[in-house]
Structure 1
Amino acid sequence: MTDQETDQDTDQETDEDTRYEAVRSRDARFDGVFFFAVETTGIYCRPSCPAVTPKRANVRFFATAAAAQGSGFRACRRCRPDAVPGSAEWNVRADVVGRAMRLIADGVVDREGVAGLAVRLGYSARQVQRQLTAELGAGPVALARAQRAHTARVLLQTTGLPVTEIAFASGFASVRQFNDTIRAVYASTPSELRAAAPKNDRGRRTATPSAGIPLRLAHRGPYQAGPVLDLLAREAVPGVEEVSGPPGARTYRRTLRLPYGTGIAAVDERPGTARTGLGAHPGGWLDVRLHLTDLRDLTTAVQRLRRLFDLDADPYAVDERLAADPRLAPLVAARPGLRSPGTADPEELAVRALVGPAEAERLVRRYGKALDAPCGTLTHLFPEPAVLAGAEPGGPLGALTAALADHAVRLDPGADRDDAEDALRALPGLDARTVAEIRARALGDPDVAPPGLDVPDSWRPWRSYALNHLRAAGEWESR
């Protein structure tokens, strides 16, 4: 064995020892960052699982739930490891693995297969398979399968839908494939899994697509819902969005254009999610209700809401770095866990960043597609780029929407951020500040600083979060 191989083995042992300490302390900060499995029981868990800590010799670690499942381990029924927030790493990273994970989460493999995923990434299917397997221990099919299984469990335990409908709504190609996967992942039949639902989920099982699907979208650490709702309220475009209710108990509602149909999402501001102080916080969730015209859109709708509310962020890493800066330290102490909101529709965000709220409202009234069944003040979908490009082809708006419509500018979850910024800068009428906003919000870049603002390098790689602290404190306005 070479010295280099010895060093690598030592580093791996050290890393795994650190992970085991996280498991021993049931540290929720690492939920979703890694998973551990117990060879003597055949079960895999999240780090914060409340069960008795297994012996170190019996524990194996995995980067993803799919890798644990691929090694023959079943999901723990007590800690439900499939329900943890996603790893913040996939949102931060700009390489092919990070981009692939964002696309898989958006349901691209279910809709377009591995070949479609590879085309979006600009690699061959074999290259994508090799890179994901080498780093994560699972390829794109296994990762998508794990996601389908989670979607199926949610539908089984929170709705009264027939099992056959759930199978296809979750993205499975057949009922047999669905049954086999549920047995492999949860060691239960679909009926047994439904019967084993936690009491809170059983009480909500009367939910139907028409009544909406109730969900809890998990996040790690503290979550400052107030500033996020404040921003969304200021930006809300009538007909497409609304924020209602008193401060501390508001509800954000919006329409969604999805691959198979349309949807309406309602997200509640949970009292008590904004904690003060920098101490450890186990995390929590946002309550959501989704009304979908096609249940196959459930996974995609959930992921788009997660990006909008930045639910997969690692607030511990962000706060630790920013709190070291004298200017930001009191702001971080006042608002631990402050997020950097994204968007539920990147192309919509790009248009709105260019034209502003008043013009966006006009575009919705004139060109937005009316919902078949309006819901209160929500009446329209935001107009698609192709519709806008055809209706108003001139000027910066026409240039942007035409580029979005013909994919000269790509803003989907797997887009290369640098390529997208270069393409945006080449369009007429988009100033550097608008491009920066699109990069931060539509592309989810955590490290964007707008031009003209003196931002120190010590805020890297979380400059987007630093600016949200300044905005929440009234020290900076994006517009």
Structure 2
Amino acid sequence: MESHQYRQARLARDPRFDGRFFVAVRTTGIYCRPICPATAPKEDNVRYFDTALAASQAGYRPCLRCRPDSAPGSPAWRGSDTTLTRAIRLIDEGALVDGTIPALAARLGISPRYLNKLFQTRLGTSAKQYALHQQLMLAKQLLHDTALPMAEVAAAAGFGSVRRFNDCFASQLKLTPGQIRRSAAGQSSDLTLFLSYRPPYAWAPLRGFLAHRAIAGLEWHGDDFYGRTLWTEDGQLAHFTARHQPERHGFAVTLTVPPGQPVLARVGRIRRLLDLDADIATIDAHLASIPGLAPLLTPGLRLPGIADPFEAGVRAILGQQVSVAAARNLVQKVVDRLGTKQEERRGFPTPQQLAEDSLAWLGMPDSRRQTLRRFAAHVAQHGQQEDPNQWLALKGIGPWTVEYVRMRGLSEPDRWLGTDLGIKKALAQQGLEANPDAAAPWRSYLTFQLWNRL
């Protein structure tokens, strides 16, 4: 943005710009979100940064009042580089907590040198430094919002020891964990975090979409909340409940993870499932510029995610050529029969569980049962990090299935399900011609806007 746009946004404390830039004050050495309630500093004393990481590396410490750790993410500064976007998503989900740069680069199909070049070019820092900053921001949020002991905060944020946690905190954020803890008030013994977004946020359509497809035991929902189970990296069950708080532009998320498990991966996944980091004002404005589409748009409509590509693939296969209700019933049978049970909750079946079962009890054509088993066996062998395009070689899996997985299982913003019957029906009802290229790079959002009209 231009300098006058930064100034107008911070003086107006416009929540639509929250997380898109940060305001550093030279006289105090503190950086804030543009919505900070503190008295606005003089323009001459202000510096603007596109990211909290950049402000931190310039020597500023985070504000304890507006808490930059709580700001929504900002995809805008990532650019259109899909490799960088995927790398950031993987790091946000904890890829470097226990993993290494070479391992992450291998997952992305690039060299470690090129991975760091991408981060240096776009963010001005290394991939490892970006990952460390994300861990510190999560730790800061845990210190503010919970009464967890320091050792548990360090472990939850992915630090191997309290000593390293303290050293990184002081050197990177110019604060000590003790200073954060003393400033916190009203802490809870539960692991409850507040995850914010930039408004508008069309909660009712998102909740309705998820509720219409919800699987009992795996998911739960109400007028103002949604929750579900998630697998951890070592095969344990975690779960969360996200309660919408529109007056605060975010969700209060209660998260339950097994003892000693890092929280970062779960927080990143929850943000993706609820699409909290979308620059929705930009997306809506782009779609509204398409002739004939503006009157049909629902402002703030988000992409409802699915926990992982495998679950998305199973749901897509079971949903082929049947209604939403019929597909949900099939998924429910699979979860009831094969899902791991933990008290009243269930985990989605693993690829191994599905591949090893005959599925003869599943009421559907045998050809689709075999497709499901082939798919499960393939993922069990190759893992979920494989490019979904490789699945096209499997009999019974076509472009629609792969695009659906990319859109909901990976939350890619530019996927178009042009062969979907619902999309064709919505276009016909509204008298529109399909011109998906005009919606790029936000064709996934166009897909959901059209589904929302049915």
Q: 1:127 to 1:467 in 2, by over 3 A?
A: closer
Secondary structure in structure 2 of the residue aligned to 1:256: strand
**C-alpha displacement at 1:441, in angstroms?**
0.8
CA distances 1:131-159 after superposition (whole Å, capped 9, x unpaired): 20221022122111111112212222222
Match of 1:382 in 2: 348
1:300 aligns with 2:233: no
The 5 A counterparts of 1:369-408 are: 369-371=340-342, 374-375=343-344, 378=345, 380-392=346-358, 395-407=370-382
Quick one: distance in 1 between partners of 2:196 and 2:149?
26
Match of 1:461 in 2: 441
Provide the alpha-carbon RMSD of the alignment.
2.5
**C-alpha displacement at 1:269, in angstroms?**
3.9
Q: 1:124 to 1:20 in 2, by over 3 A?
A: farther
Quick one: distance in 1 between partners of 2:142 and 2:260?
10
**What one-letter code is carried by the residue in structure 2 that aligns with 1:399?**
R
CA distances 1:428-448 after superposition (whole Å, capped 9, x unpaired): 112333222112111212222
Quick one: distance in 1 between partners of 2:164 and 2:381?
36
The 5 A counterparts of 1:58-457 are: 58-89=45-76, 93-197=80-184, 202-207=185-190, 213-243=191-221, 245=222, 249-260=223-234, 261-270=236-245, 272=246, 284-332=249-297, 335-355=298-318, 356-371=327-342, 374-375=343-344, 378=345, 380-392=346-358, 395-407=370-382, 410=385, 419-420=387-388, 422-452=389-419, 453=424, 454-456=433-435, 457=437
Contact 2:31 2:60 (8 Å CA) reproduced: yes
**What one-letter code is carried by the residue in structure 1 that aligns with 2:350?**
E
Match of 1:36 in 2: 23
**What one-letter code is carried by the residue in structure 1 that aligns with 2:194?**
R
Secondary structure in structure 2 of the residue aligned to 1:403: helix
CA distances 1:353-389 after superposition (whole Å, capped 9, x unpaired): 1113222222222222222xx14xx2x2111113222
Contact 1:32 1:84 (8 Å CA) reproduced: yes
TM-score (norm 1): 0.81
Quick one: distance in 2 between partners of 1:44 and 1:250?
33
Contact 2:61 2:175 (8 Å CA) reproduced: no
Secondary structure in structure 1 of the residue aligned to 2:305: coil
**C-alpha displacement at 1:473, in angstroms?**
2.6
**C-alpha displacement at 1:107, in angstroms?**
0.5
Match of 1:471 in 2: 451
| Number of residue-to-residue matches in the alignment | 423
**What one-letter code is carried by the residue in structure 2 that aligns with 1:455?**
A
CA distances 1:63-90 after superposition (whole Å, capped 9, x unpaired): 3322322222211122211211111337
TM-score (norm 2): 0.85
Contact 2:218 2:229 (8 Å CA) reproduced: yes
Q: 1:59 to 1:125 in 2, by over 3 A?
A: farther
Match of 1:477 in 2: none
Match of 1:5 in 2: none
Contact 1:238 1:361 (8 Å CA) reproduced: yes
Quick one: distance in 2 between partners of 1:91 and 1:400?
33
Contact 2:56 2:173 (8 Å CA) reproduced: no
Q: 1:178 to 1:47 in 2, by over 3 A?
A: same
**C-alpha displacement at 1:219, in angstroms?**
0.5
CA distances 1:245-272 after superposition (whole Å, capped 9, x unpaired): 4xxx3432211101243211112244x5
Please, which runs of 5 or more residues in structure 1 have no aligned partner? 1-13, 208-212, 274-282, 412-418, 475-479
**What one-letter code is carried by the residue in structure 2 that aligns with 1:437?**
Y
